[in-house]
Amino acid sequence: MLMLLLSYVFIRCSDNNQTFTLKGKVEQGINVEKYLVYIFRDYDHPEQFPEPMDTIEVKNGLFSYSTTLDQPYSGLLKAVAPDGSEGEYFLEFMFVPGESCEIDVYGEGLNEFTLGGSKFYRDWEAFAQFYNKERKKAIELQGAGDDAFFAAIADYNSKHKDEEGCIMYQYMWRYARMDYSIADGISQGRFKNYIQYMRK
């Protein structure tokens, strides 16, 4: 009996380590009825989107989703309005097994959402906010601020190189100058296959 109980606990813990969970909130006024779910198991976008893997209904501005994954992948949510039309922009981020993501959709434009939840997604969002702030400053300088921008990113990375969310944000978006060192725990850990693919 004890062995059966221990086996059940082990299986439940294994399932939890492979489950990605998502909870979302859509701010009032955003015209979305559901999201189409895409998970890119080949790590990168195909030239043409495949059929969606799932659909998430939005009810009273809230939605939730969970799936079992064997490793981290790029994931994407595509909004569908009540009239059936699909949104122009996507909600794109990494779907990571064993992690819980909370997303707040505050607009219908590019990157108009924030992430929270487990540490991976908090670190992801912290870097995203920093990156967007520094990039805006560089754009306002019309190219003259590029060196300062890359220096700021390098400095941030040197202080946060052991944060998976920070590093994987940059790998997913294929940002240039990814020649900085990252912690062995990341490059040789659960993101190893993804990092090796993106370095090709």
Let me know whether 182 and 162 are in one domain.
yes
Mean pLDDT over residues 23-37, rounded? 95
Let me know whether 2 and 99 are in one domain.
yes
Let me know whether 14 and 73 are in one domain.
yes
Residue bearing the bigger pLDDT, 141 or 30: 30
Model pLDDT, residue 97: 97
Let me know whether 88 and 122 are in one domain.
no
Let me know whether 4 and 34 are in one domain.
yes
Backbone angles phi, psi at 38, to 5 degrees: -125, 135
Of 115, 139, 174, the one marking the end of a domain is: 115
Looking only at the bridges linking them, the beta strands covering 73-80 and 19-26 are unpaired
Cβ–Cβ < 8 Å for 80, 35: yes
Of 115, 139, 173, the one marking the end of a domain is: 115
Mean pLDDT over residues 170-178, rounded? 70
User: CA 36, CA 43: separation in Å to the nearest integer?
Assistant: 18
- 12 — pLDDT class (breaks 50, 70, 90): very low
Model pLDDT, residue 178: 55
Model pLDDT, residue 50: 74
Q: Which domain holds residue 198?
A: 118-200
Let me know whether 95 and 153 are in one domain.
no
Mean pLDDT over residues 115-129, rounded? 97
List pLDDT tens digits, range 143-161.
667 888 888 988 998 899 8
Model pLDDT, residue 20: 98
Of 115, 145, 174, the one marking the end of a domain is: 115
User: CA 26, CA 81: separation in Å to the nearest integer?
Assistant: 13
For the chain, percent of residues with pLDDT exceeding 90: 54
**Is pLDDT above 50 for 13?**
no
Mean pLDDT over residues 45-55, rounded? 76
User: CA 35, CA 56: separation in Å to the nearest integer?
Assistant: 5
pTM of the model: 0.85
Let me know whether 101 and 141 are in one domain.
no
List pLDDT tens digits, range 81-95.
999 999 888 899 999
Model pLDDT, residue 10: 38
Exposed, middle or buried by CB within 10 Å (0-12, 13-18, 19+), for 124?
Answer: buried
Model pLDDT, residue 51: 82
Please state, in angstroms and as integers, the Cα–Cα distance from residue 73 to each residue in 38, 81, 93, 116, following that order: 10, 26, 9, 18
Let me know whether 15 and 98 are in one domain.
yes
Let me know whether 92 and 76 are in one domain.
yes
Let me know whether 109 and 126 are in one domain.
no
For the chain, the distance separating the N- and C-terminal CA atoms, rounded to the nearest angstrom, is 51
User: What CATH number corresponds to the domain at position 4?
Assistant: 2.60.40
How many domains does one find in the chain?
A: 2
Mean pLDDT over residues 167-193, rounded? 78
Let me know whether 76 and 174 are in one domain.
no
- 11 — pLDDT class (breaks 50, 70, 90): very low
